[in-house]
Each structure stands twice: as C-alpha cells, then as structure tokens.
Structure 1
Amino acid sequence: MAQQSDFHDNQQRAGDYLKRFATTVTGHYIGGSWVPTDGAASFDNLSPANNQSLGAVVAGTEADVDAACQAAEDAFGEWAAMPGQARKKLLNHFADLIEARADEIALVESSDCGQAIRYMKQAAIRGAANFRFFADKAPEARNGQSLMQPEHTNLTIRSPIGPVGVITPWNTPFMLATWKIAPALAAGCTIVHKPAELSPLSATLLAEISEEAGIPPGVWNMVHGFGETVGKRLSEHPAIKAVSLVGETSTGSHIMRQGADTLKRIHLELGGKNPIIVFDDADFDRALDAAVFMLYSLNGQRCTSSSRLLIQSGIRDKFLSALKERVANLKVGHPLDPASEVGPLVHKEHFEKVMGYMEAARDGGATIAVGGNRITSMGNGNYVEPTLFVDADNTMRVAREEIFGPVLTAISFDTEEQAIAIANDTEYGLAGYIWTGDTGRAMRMAHAVEAGMLWINSENNRNLPSPFGGFKMSGIGRDGGDYSFEFYMETKNVCIAHDTHSVPVIGR
C-alpha cells in the first residue's frame, strides 16, 4: 500500500510540474532570454507511458541556430577571460540549484523518457555531481606541463577552444547533458545545446537553472528541434569550433561530414554491443546480479548496457536457468511507480524497432527463452516484456546490432580464446564486463578485449576522472577529468631559451 501511495503522489507531483509544458509551447533559450514562440512551428512531445501529448515544443530553424551561435560567439571572450575561481563559484552554485530541484527534474525526466523513477532520482543527483566535479577543476583547466631540455624549457598552456555545440540523446538526457556541458563551461567555452526531440523537457529545466545560477547571457544557449535542421546547422556553423555528440553511430557519421568544411573538432560517444563475459570461476550470484542490472535497468536504453552475455559452458545451464527466472520476475510498469524496474520505451517508432528483433531472433535460429511480446495490459504505452534470447551465436542480427531495449542475447563459449574472439567480433567497442576469479585471466582479458572501457567483476561504476569512450564504431575521443579539457581546450607550447645554446648562423 505504501508503494501505491507513493505512485499516486509521484503522479500528482509530476502532473503539477508538467502542467506548464502542457499549457505553453516550450521554446528556445538564446542570449540569456526565452525566445517568443508565437507563430513558430512546433511538434508534439509524446509520453512513453500512454503516447498522449505532454505539450508542444518549438521546432527550431536554421535562423534560430544562427542566433544561438552568434550569442555564444559574442559571450565567449568575457566568459573565457573570467578567472577559473569565479567560474568554479558559479558552477558550484549551479550544482546547488540542481539538487534543490532534483525531485522536479526526476519526475519530469521519468515522465518524458519513460525511465523508471528509481533511476531518475539518482540521475538528477549525478548531474549535480558532474557540475561539482568540473567546477572544482575550473581553476586548473588552463594548467599545462613543464618540459625540460638542457638549454630550453618548454611550457604548455591551454585556452578554451571557443563556442561549442553539444548534442545530447533521449536516454537519461539530463545526466548526459551535464556530463558534456559542465566541462565545457569549466574550460571557459560557451555552448549551444541541442537536446533530443524525443525527450526535450529536462533541457529546458537546465536552461532555467543556468539563468537562475547567474550564468552570463549567451554563455548557455539551447535550441530545440530536429537533427536534420538544428543538428545539421549547428554542426556546420563556422562560429562553432567543436561538436560533442552522444547518439547513434549513423548520426556520428553525419556530424563528421557536416563539420568537415569548417574543420571542427568532433567528439562522438556512439553505440555499443557490449559483452559481459562470465567464466566458470566467477562469483555466480554477483555476476548474475550484474548481468540483469546492466541490461534491464534503464529499459536497456543505455550505451554501456551489456547486451551480449558470453557464458562459459561449464556453468551455462545453471546460469541461464537462474537468469530466466530473474528476467521473468522483472517488474514492468509505469515509470512513476516506485515498484517499476522496467518502464516503457521512449517512442512508438523505437518500440516497433525493438519488437522487430523478436522476429529476427526466430528467423536467425535463436530461442526466445523469456518475453518477446508486447504488453497491452497497461494501455497504449510502449511496453515490451523483458526478453532473453538463448541458443544464439555471434553471426545473428540479435548478436550484432544494437537493439537498445530490454533484450539480452546469450552466447556460450568454451575457452578464453573463444571468449575473446566472440567479444571482439563486432563493429563496436565501447564497453565490456569480465567476471572471473582468476586474476591473471582478468589481466589477459583486459589487454585483449577491444573496448574503451572494461569492468572486472563489477557493473558499470563511473569514476569521474577516468576516461570514458569507445573504440571502432563506438566513437572518437574521451570524456572525464582532464580528458574532457583536452577536447574543449587548445594546447599551446611555449619554448623559452636559457640563452646558452648556439643560434645557427647563415648569410653573415
């Protein structure tokens, strides 16, 4: 009864927070002001829970992007020149305001993207932590190195690259936006943020917080709209010196092409088909917990989800038996229900894409051991049963393509060498998870598996100073700590002579 009461309370509070989005057209934030929406083209933002409209959102134009880029360019000089200590104070205040509005952020985000509220509350607090981490690093962002030679000293110094474009995805959009924007601002860059059109509301909350925090006009700009218009123009605009994208691999290819003429610096965090490799000697219960959590939490809609289970033959039957029971027991429900572990998928089109893999599994020869069906008992929402494919091999579509839903494909192997071969037989290389009690094997696997991030005997545990990014078609570049500053800043070398070396002489 307590959870039912909490569910009702969440619905009531979410309704209060969402009311303004339903009664007004959600618009852009450019140059420190909210742009009037009268007469502007707009699109309906649909709820994943019932496919009813949460309200209209302005569909940005090239002119809107141009205005935002100009505002970012105009504000850059003053923001870049601001002492790092002053930016630190502003960005820490920003984090305070995120925490103060964490309840609102979580409820709006859960309603907008369909993720279960249990995860969105953590995502809002994580967003504040991202701002605090990079706020504290702002005073040292310009720091470089001192490189000694016998007769010269080389100093490296860093400066912000300029206005940057930040294009964020529809899954956990609030947290991922803070992960990108916080280091850009700490480095001294101004930003133009293009949120995903499928879950745009938390970007509006972020822009509001930027205004409330006292971020100067033009430093933070946000334009809603579609990738083929807003994203394309942002990627092409000459004032934008770098573009950071979290999204699909195909979108990353478009961004690279669009930014080529202006030689933009590009950072891409893209798709994945990440393996979780469980050896016979793994801690069985912990590996089982991790396999379930890292795929089915967040509806399977996360780039680092472990969507391929590679299970050694010695424990295959026992592990799959336990896994089937756990997957069948997952609680699918309304995203605002505290009991829900899996919510609706973000959009009807994406839902249909995920459902298409059920037929692909059958056609390819895999067995649907659990799930595989639409859930119609909860109305017109985008609900799918948590699904487990077994009897699969790595040639099947369900083992090669990023499904991005609550769907796990299990593949068996016999030897360490086979596990490595299967893990690496993919165009992606974002993350991997290795479960073994053998320290030597863990180290060998760490060297052999082709992925930008590996977790040994752990689920995805983020360490903010550590590099985050992938190999192959999973992306270009790294986020995290100083790696973020390397992207958002230019490095200059200054060589100072000690006046002791011989200067070459010609023509004397």
Structure 2
Amino acid sequence: MKTYAPFISGKFQHWQGDTIPSVDPATGEVWSQVARCGADEADTAIQDANRAFRTGPWADAGIEGRARILDTLADVLEARWEELVEPEIRDNGKRITEVRGQLSGLHSWFRYFAAEARKLKPEAQANSIPGVTSVGHWLPYGVVVAITPWNSPLMILAWKIAPALAAGNTVVVKPSEMASASSLEFARLAHEAGLPPGVLNVVTGLGHEVGEALVRHPLTRKVTFTGSDIGGRKVAEAASAGVVPTTLELGGKSPQVVFADSDLENTVNGILSGIFLSNGQTCVAGSRVIAEASIKDALVSRLVERAQALRMGDPMDPATQIAPLANEPHLRKVKSMIAQAKADGATCLLDGTETANGRQGFYVGPTIFEDVTRDMQLWREEVFGPVLAVTTFDTEDEAIALANDSDYGLAGGVWTSDANKGARVAGEIQSGTVYINHYRNVDPSSPIGGIKLSGYGRELGPGAVKDFLQAKSIWTGTAPVPDPFP
C-alpha cells in the first residue's frame, strides 16, 4: 500500500506522522494513505513557495520564460497523462471514460494560459491631467493557496494553477483529503517537466488542520477555493482576517427549463448528461427539471426509460455507465436526501438506492422524483448526486420564477426550438452560465463562476490570468511641476 507524503520544494518529503486512509469507492477498501499535515507543513510549504516567488529561476524567468515552462509542462502532460488516470479513479470512483476524457485534455489548459500570459504588457492610461502620463502594469500576488475538491481533482486543479502560474505566482495546493493522490502525482510530473522547486507545492490533510493554516498564513496573498458553500464561508472568513482576496466556486442547484417545443430526444440527452454523468457529482449538475406541463409526462417517461437502462459497474471498465459515489460519507448524505424526499411527499419514479442494493462499494443509481414542490429539501438543497427533481410550469414567467427560486446561481439550461425565446429566458435566469439546447460544456476561453450562494469571482476565460494579478499605475511627469504656492 502506497503512502503519499507532502510534495514540497520539488520532492516528496520524508513522512512519519499520521495518515488519512484513501478508500476505493468501488470496493470500500483502503488502497493508499496520505499524510495528515498540519500547521508546520503549511508553514514549510508557504515559506518555500515564497522563496521561489522572490528568488531563483521562476522569479527571474519573466513572462516569456514562464510561458515556455508551461508549454513544456503541457508537452509532458500530453505525452504522459495516462499515468494520472488510475490514482484519480482509485480515489474518487469516477468512471474511466470520463477521467480519460478530462485528463487527455489536461495539457490544453496550460497551453491556453501560457498564450494568454504572452499577451500581458504595460497599458497606457488615457488620463486627462496635463503634464503627466500614466501606465498600468500587472504584478503577480505572490503565494496563491488553491483548495480543490474530490469530484474532478486534476481538472479543477488545472483551472486554478494554470492561470495562477501563467501570471507569475507560486502555488500551494490543498487537495481534498478524500482524493489527494492524483494531485500529488501531478506535482511530481510537473517537477519532472521542469517546473522549478517550490513553484508548486502540495500539502494534504484536513481543512481545519492544514487548510485553515494555509489560508491564514501571513505570506498567503490570494486564495482560490472550489467546494461547498459551507466550506466557502469558512475560507472567506479565514482569508478576511488577512485581507486576502478570494475566488469561490461553490455549489449549485441548477434549473433545466424545458418548453413543449423542444426536441425531446436532444433534451433527454442533455438532461441525462447534466445530472447522471459523474453521478451528479458536479457543481453545475442540472438537478431541477422545470418542464412545461403539456410535455412533462412524455419527458419524464423517456428520462426514466433511459436512466434505468444505464449500466452500473466497475469504474475501471470502459463499459460502465454508472460508477460509485466518491466516498462513504457522501453516500450516506445522498441516501438520506432521497429518503427525505420520499418522506416529504415527492413521487419517486426511479429509486437508485434500490438498483444498487447488494452491490459492494458506494453505489447509488439514477434517481428521479416528480411532484417536487418549492418547499421541499430536494428543491432547495444541493444533493451532489444522481438525483433529479421534476416540476412543471404553464407560462414563461412562471418558468423563470421557478428557475430563479434558489439560493444558488451557478448554471442553468433552456430547451426550446424558438431561438428568441431561448435567448430571452436564458437572459433572465440568475446564474453565471446558461446553456441553450445543450449542457455541461467547458472551455478555457469561457469564464465559470456563480452568483448568490454559488460564490463570487470567475475561473477560466480571457480574464483568468488577470484574476491572479494586481494592477499598478506608474505616473511620469512630462512637464515641470508648477509652484504649488505662487
């Protein structure tokens, strides 16, 4: 059994302290151990990252030098990404087809943001003051702390560290204690690709023991976090003590508004993709279907037919369509919310707890409820699992009101053959991203983030590098300074 030590200063450290078991979700058995780091390791990693930021090859590289290093990293990832597949699956149970899809494109995030970094240059400012010019410059923050979740560890890690490094910062990563192995293996690969020691450090452990110590460290200059809204509140509170800016990408309860004029099969494919890929363990999961009353029965019937035919199995098997949930505490949460929805009076059309009965591991199959009302827990709270809530509407205004009846605002979907209606409704949905007639796409060029309890700030997009930079204005006098006291 492998024990993973923290990765600091370009190497795995010697570790004899406490460890946290990593459980294979497909079997329920421990497959590795990760170091249970604390404040001492947090300090070591931050100090090392700060040194790498201040002096040495990374500090001296300049924009073009750093971009070349990221391009080289992208080359190595393109050639060796398959080394990262198994540890990620063993940690979080995601099916191999999805993991291979994510990791085979991992290099693209680094290439994109290396190119974005090359566009950075001083910007002349059009000030109106006679006798002076001013120029805007962009400066990296320094040490960035990135806290990542267990659902897509390496993809979300890339979203954070690619622009942060392109901007010239150094990064300390605290992955979820439930899924740390692939992030540690990535750090090893990045160092082998030529990333200088200290530029990327990874410390593992519990949030209140090492995560908080990283966020509160006096040398931390920016924090980026993906996780639950509860975790986001804790991170924001800890960061505020040092007046440290944060980017928070939190939960969602995303609506899928389905009009009667939509293409039924296309809509069904999109809804299945939005809620049952990754077993619903994605922040943008389209977990609330708001269907026009006249089409609801046909839509629900087709959804149930398709969902109950999906094959549950070993995540390492390419034929598997439904893999396990990522960990046992999450399995208990999802089962509890399914039970609560039944108790609240929602009609369960497909029960994933029954289809998973007798299977070893942390399995719950696709679950579909109708007759879900706005006061139910299933309508209001994020399940983060393969559970779909269905309700109906009669008018466009009612559909928009239902879509926006949520404390979250991360994503949403609109399904209609009327382009004007689609654009109109998408414009009214209160979320950071809305998809029309498709769902769940992501690209380096498009920002991701939410409103309300879904967080603040944006990841990805052409402005992502600047999110890890600070603006600085330099003023130059071009004429003599007049006597202020003539």
Question: What does residue 76 of structure 2 align with?
Answer: 97
**Structure 1 residues 263 and 53 mapped into 2: Cα distance closer, same or farther (>3 Å)?**
same
Question: What does residue 485 of structure 1 align with?
Answer: 465
Mapping of 1:8-87 within 5 angstroms? Answer: 22=1, 24-37=2-15, 39-78=16-55, 79-87=58-66
Question: Whole-Å Cα distance in 2 between the matches of residues 252 and 80 of structure 1?
Answer: 31
Shift of 1:378: 6.1
Question: What does residue 338 of structure 2 align with?
Answer: 358
1:211-243 CA-partner distances (Å, limit 9, x unpaired): 101111111111011111111101100101001
Question: Whole-Å Cα distance in 1 between the matches of residues 140 and 364 of structure 2?
Answer: 45
- The answer as to whether partners of 2:89 and 2:315 remain within 8 angstroms in 1 is yes
Q: Once superposed, what is the RMSD of the aligned Cα atoms? A: 1.7
Shift of 1:139: 2.0
Letter in 1 for 2:142: G
Larger CA deviation: 355-364 vs 58-67: 355-364
Larger CA deviation: 71-80 vs 57-66: 71-80
1:370-413 CA-partner distances (Å, limit 9, x unpaired): 12425556643001121001111222111111000111111111
What's the TM-score, normalizing by structure 2? 0.96
Question: Whole-Å Cα distance in 2 between the matches of residues 72 and 372 of structure 1?
Answer: 45
Q: Choose which of 428, 437, 449 in structure 1 pairs with 2:417.
A: 437
Question: What does residue 13 of structure 1 align with?
Answer: none
Question: What does residue 272 of structure 2 align with?
Answer: 292
Asked if residue 304 in structure 1 is aligned to residue 284 in structure 2, the reply is yes
Q: Choose which of 64, 82, 88 in structure 2 pairs with 1:109.
A: 88
**Structure 1 residues 425 and 61 mapped into 2: Cα distance closer, same or farther (>3 Å)?**
same
Q: Choose which of 69, 88, 110 in structure 1 pairs with 2:67.
A: 88
Mapping of 1:320-331 within 5 angstroms? Answer: 320-331=300-311
**Structure 1 residues 471 and 166 mapped into 2: Cα distance closer, same or farther (>3 Å)?**
same
1:338-364 CA-partner distances (Å, limit 9, x unpaired): 111111001111001000112111121
Q: Choose which of 453, 468, 477 in structure 1 pairs with 2:448.
A: 468
Shift of 1:204: 1.1
Question: Whole-Å Cα distance in 2 between the matches of residues 306 and 383 of structure 1?
Answer: 20
Q: Choose which of 185, 192, 201 in structure 1 pairs with 2:165.
A: 185
Question: Whole-Å Cα distance in 2 between the matches of residues 229 and 374 of structure 1?
Answer: 38
Question: Whole-Å Cα distance in 1 between the matches of residues 306 and 374 of structure 2?
Answer: 24
Question: What does residue 196 of structure 1 align with?
Answer: 176
Shift of 1:495: 3.8
Asked if residue 387 in structure 1 is aligned to residue 367 in structure 2, the reply is yes
**Structure 1 residues 369 and 376 mapped into 2: Cα distance closer, same or farther (>3 Å)?**
closer
Question: Whole-Å Cα distance in 1 between the matches of residues 282 and 124 of structure 2?
Answer: 36
Letter in 1 for 2:40: A
User: Unmatched 5+ residue regions in structure 1?
Assistant: 1-21
Question: What does residue 260 of structure 1 align with?
Answer: 240
Question: Whole-Å Cα distance in 2 between the matches of residues 190 and 45 of structure 1?
Answer: 27
What's the TM-score, normalizing by structure 1? 0.92
User: Unmatched 5+ residue regions in structure 2?
Assistant: none
Letter in 2 for 1:130: W
Larger CA deviation: 406-415 vs 148-157: 148-157
Question: Whole-Å Cα distance in 1 between the matches of residues 110 and 389 of structure 2?
Answer: 36
Equivalenced residue count is 483
Q: Secondary structure at the match of 1:484?
A: coil
Percent same amino acid at aligned positions? 35
Q: Secondary structure at the match of 2:235?
A: helix
Question: What does residue 507 of structure 1 align with?
Answer: 485
Q: Secondary structure at the match of 1:44?
A: strand
- The answer as to whether partners of 2:25 and 2:93 remain within 8 angstroms in 1 is yes
1:410-444 CA-partner distances (Å, limit 9, x unpaired): 11111110111111111100001111122222222
